[in-house]
Amino acid sequence: MLSWFALSSCAIEKENGQMTSDDLEQRGKQLRAEIELVYKELKTTKKLRTGIKGNDIGEIVRKYVPIGTSFDDAENILRFAGFKVYPRPAANAAGNRPDRYHVSAWIDPLDQGLTWNVQVIVSLKPKAPGDYSDVSEISAGIFYNSL
C-alpha cells in the first residue's frame, strides 16, 4: 500500500508534467507498436526506401516524445520501445558536425533477412550544446539496407 507521501508525490509529478515510470513504459510500448505497424505497411506496399534518406517517421516519434520532453523521459520512452540509446556527448564534443551533440537511439535490426536488414534510428537534439534538460528537435527514420 502506498503512503500518503508517495501518493501526493505522484500527484505533484503529474501536475508538473512529469511522467511516471508507468507512463514512460506505456508510451514506449505504444511507440514500438506504431513503428512496427508502419514498417509492415511500408514492406507490404513495397515503399521501403534504401539509402541514407530512409522513410521518415519523425512525426510518429514526436507523438510519443513531444518536443520539450525532458531528455531523461525521452531516452526512457525510447528504451521502453526497444531502442539502444547511446550516451550523451560531452559538452565539448569534438568535430564540426552540427549534430555532434545529438543523442542517437537505434533499433538494429527491426527486421532482417539473409542479405538485408531494417534499422530504426532516432536523433534527439538538446536545447543547446551540453544542455540535456529538454529535447528541442527530433528526427527519425526506418532504414532498409542490403548487405
Please write the tens of the pLDDT for every residue from 59-85. 999 999 999 999 999 999 999 999 999
Is 7 part of a structural domain of the chain? no
Taking only the tens place, the pLDDT of each residue in 97-133 is: 878 899 999 999 999 999 999 999 999 999 988 899 9
Is 3 inside a domain boundary?
A: no
How many domains does the chain fold into?
1
CB neighbours of residue 98 within 10 Å = 8
Give the residue-averaged pLDDT of 50-67.
94
% of the chain beyond a pLDDT of 70: 88
103 within some domain: yes
In 3-state terms, what secondary structure has residue 37?
helix
Could you tell me which of 28, 133, 19, 138 has the C-alpha nearest to residue 83?
28
Print the domain residue range for 92.
Answer: 18-146
In a domain, 8, yes or no: no
Q: What pLDDT is attached to residue 6? A: 37
Sheet arrangement for strand 131-146? 55-56, 131-146, 116-128, 103-112, 84-85
Cell of 104: 542517437
What is the rounded average pLDDT for all residues in the chain?
Answer: 87
Say what the pTM is.
0.85
Structure confidence at residue 17 as a pLDDT band (50, 70, 90): low
